[in-house]
Amino acid sequence: MKSAKDILRRYLKSNGLLYSRQREQVLDIFLKTEKHSTINDLYELVRKKNTKIGLATVYRSMKVICDAGLARETDFGDGARRYEHKYKHQHHHHLVCIKCGRIVEIASPRLEQIQRQLAKKHDFTVSRDTMKMFGICRACKRKSK
């Protein structure tokens, strides 16, 4: 399997975009996070490593990283765009707590099978899918008792 950096470099080259060390640093930091980070979250992490990288550079870098297929932008209903890994991560869906904001990734072969069956039944070609279930997590339920 190609490394994330190789994928990014090939994407940049094939699209006539310039490689930069700053883009690579943003990619490295993003890949080390295992949460659904906002641009501001990533910016804070990047600034700890390189104070010369600005917010706009992080934003533009994440756009390119998404376009290269290494990340996905998503919104969990709080108005903030968040980024999650696609590189070396299996397809999954999300449980989102409406009280604390906790996000739990769920992967379910059974759910994937149901989605394929529904698409076939309706002669529907799926180009992408996402599922988010909103509710209250176990910890928040315990706190409210």
Superfamily of 93-144 according to CATH: Ferric-uptake regulator, C-terminal dimerisarion domain (3.30.1490.190)
**Distance between CA 42 and CA 45 in Å, rounded?**
5
The pLDDT of residue 90 is above 80: no
Q: Where are the domains of the chain?
A: 4-85, 93-144
**Distance between CA 30 and CA 71 in Å, rounded?**
9
Q: Which of 94, 86, 51, 41 is nearest to 65 (CA)?
A: 86
What pLDDT is stored for residue 121 in this prediction? 92
**Most confident among 52-61, 76-85, 99-108, 123-132 (mean pLDDT):** 52-61
In the numeric block, the tokens 């996905």 are attached to: 72
Q: Which of 37, 93, 44 is nearest to 65 (CA)?
A: 37
Q: What is the pTM of this model?
A: 0.74
Q: pLDDT of 100-117, one tens digit each?
A: 888 888 888 888 888 889
DSSP summary character for residue 19: P
Q: What is the mean pLDDT of residues 72-81?
A: 82
> Does the domain spanning 4-85 belong to CATH 3.40.50.10140?
no
